[in-house]
Amino acid sequence: MELTVAITGASGSIYAHRTLIQLAASGAVERINLIMSESARTVARVELGVDLGEADSTRVNEWLKLPADSKLVRPHRLDNLAATPASGSHMQAGMIVVPCSMGTLGAIASGAGTNLIHRAADVTLKEGRKLVLVPRETPYSAIHLENMLKLAHAGARILPASPAFYHRPRTIEEMVDHLVFRILDQFGVPHSQGTRWKGGE
Ligand SMILES: Cc1cc2nc3c(=O)[nH]c(=O)nc-3n(C[C@H](O)[C@H](O)[C@H](O)COP(=O)(O)O)c2cc1C
């Protein structure tokens, strides 16, 4: 399976980090096209203390603890509208935007294809492939909510970064991974989750 993962400048870089790590660990994904917005790199510096560079495989492999020569994750420059995710004729299963800023959400909702993230999301929708958006903002304005509704009507899956607590997470990682597993579920990617609800009260 091939997927595109986009990271934008909403809070929650850790969600992107864990999503990439879990996709890599699944063994079910052969290629991840990675696109980062400029703000994503700023937020990752603030929240995780990492400098991811621009389309820099070496830094990305280091960040994900992958072998230096791993080709699993292929970073693309944000302005490269000739990259494979920009074309519908390039086959892939879909795209995840995690975390998804309100700015990117609005751009996708408007159909603007002005950078590779917006264009790849637009292509994913027009081809009827799965687009999973993980928005993070609080509170939401009416504009944010309308954009989300518009995108849901267009076929996107809105999977907000709202952590659950019923599995009693003990660490931030456990809390984040619970949400990440829900993202992987959207694509049928296997994972080691022991936190599925099995019924109760
Ligand atoms: C530390 C930090 C946290 C931010 N958190 C959010 C957020 O949670 N949600 C959001 O929509 N924007 C957030 N922003 C603002 C976005 O980064 C900004 O709107 C940016 O233009 C989004 O661009 P992008 O969609 O191309 O990444 C944050 C910015 C910074 C610096």
Q: Which of 39, 45, 143, 145 to mutate to test the pocket of ligand 1 (most atoms within 8 A of CB)?
A: 39
Residue of 14, 43, 158 with the most ligand 1 atoms within 8 Å of its CB, for mutation: 43
pLDDT above 80 for 197 = no
Atom of ligand 1 nearest to the CA of 105: 25
Q: How far is the CA of 180 from the centre of ligand 1 (A)?
A: 20
pLDDT tens digits, 162-191: 999 999 999 999 999 999 999 999 999 999
Q: What is the pLDDT of residues 93-112, one digit of tens each?
A: 999 999 999 999 999 999 98
In terms of phi and psi (left: phi > 0; alpha: psi -120 to 50; beta: otherwise), the region of 47 is: alpha
Q: What is the pLDDT of residue 28?
A: 95
**pTM score of the predicted model:** 0.97
- Integer angstrom CA distances of residue 142 from 137, 147, 148, 174: 12, 8, 10, 32
The whole-angstrom separation of Cα 119 and Cα 133 is 14
Query: Ligand 1 atom 17: the closest Cα is on which residue?
Result: 9
Is the model's pLDDT at 89 over the cut of 80? yes
**Residues contacting ligand 1 via CB (< 6 Å):** 8-11, 37, 39-40, 42-43, 46, 101-104, 136-137
**What pLDDT does 195 receive?**
65
Check whether 194 has a pLDDT greater than 80. no
CA of 5 to the centre of ligand 1 (A): 17
Q: Which atom of ligand 1 is nearest to the CA of 47?
A: 1
Q: How far is the CA of 28 from the centre of ligand 1 (A)?
A: 31
pLDDT tens digits, 16-74: 999 999 999 999 999 999 999 999 999 999 999 999 999 899 999 999 999 999 999 99
CA atoms lying within 13 Å on the CB side of residue 84: 16
Task: Please give the share of the chain, as a percent, with pLDDT higher than 70.
Answer: 99
